[in-house]
A and B are shown apart, each in its own frame.
Chain A
Amino acid sequence: MSEPTQDQVAADELDVAKLQAIAKARMVTVREKIAAIKARTADKQAVLDQMANEHAALTARMNALAEEIKAVEYPEVFELKRELGKLARIAGGY
């Protein structure tokens, strides 16, 4: 295969530049379409974000309270329940 001439290289570079320009222009159009669609749900998204924040705060309080309960119960209740299970089997249970 022969080496490309200077004219051919210049022509290829011109094509690449054109392709990049077309792609950049299309990117602007696609971004505008995305923004237009998302604008239709923006109010609902804001409410959802607020609810998610409230949910996260409530979950954090629940987890903290659960930790306080476990600090008292664990591991004693866990071990006592295991002992109860062994005793129940010895006593003839399923």
Chain B
Amino acid sequence: MSDDDTGQGTDDEGRVVLVTGGSRGIGLACARWFLDHGDRVAVTSRSGTVEDDTLDGRHPGRLLVLACDVTDAEQVERAFTAVEEAWGPVEVLVANAGITRDTLVLRMGDDAWGDVIDTNLTGSFRVAKRALARMLRLRRGRIVFVSSVSAFLGSAGQANYSAAKAGLVGMARSMAREVATRSITVNVIAPGLVETDMLAALGDDRKAELGTLVPLGRTAEPEEIAEAVGFISSAGAAYITGAVLPVDGGLAMGL
């Protein structure tokens, strides 16, 4: 199998990976995974920080932390340019940045709807489009969208979030078809209940209630999602594209 077929380069310095929304939670766990596997990782967050002070010290020269609000096309452009100037084109994109603005539909204003769609769906579109422009030239690349079980199960109080997460699936599959001839794969990870600030915000009662629905009987650690993101970005996953990989302890199996 040639490099082109696997969609991977052979750079000893590791691939150039960009993770949006990487300051904490799933994004941070993904950044750690790629760093631990020898890649160079650019992490974006709105604050331009990561909630792990030790990361830079443990991986000198292989971590970039950039401020980027994915709702702002100019900031997206600046972030990608910064990565390209430092290391070259992004070879693996993990579009993970997302927000919630939970409320019942009848109380959901257009702004709560629009903000979540703009960040979670349109923001993912913006970064993927920017990444693809260079991946096409490279004739390789991996794009991973971080969706959610709520795309399939729905989630009371999260019509906006669930719509955005479901939208990622159709978008990813369309992109996958468009760029398949260039050995670029586009896939979706659909996490279930993950121990993040976003889950904590649901409150203990709701968390416990949801927990009883998980066949594996527990929530996931962010690292367990990162393992799946890492695999689907690997050389070994060259023949997987347009897939939705649930990492949810069985919560939404079959959907």
Are chains A and B native binding partners rather than an unrelated pairing? no
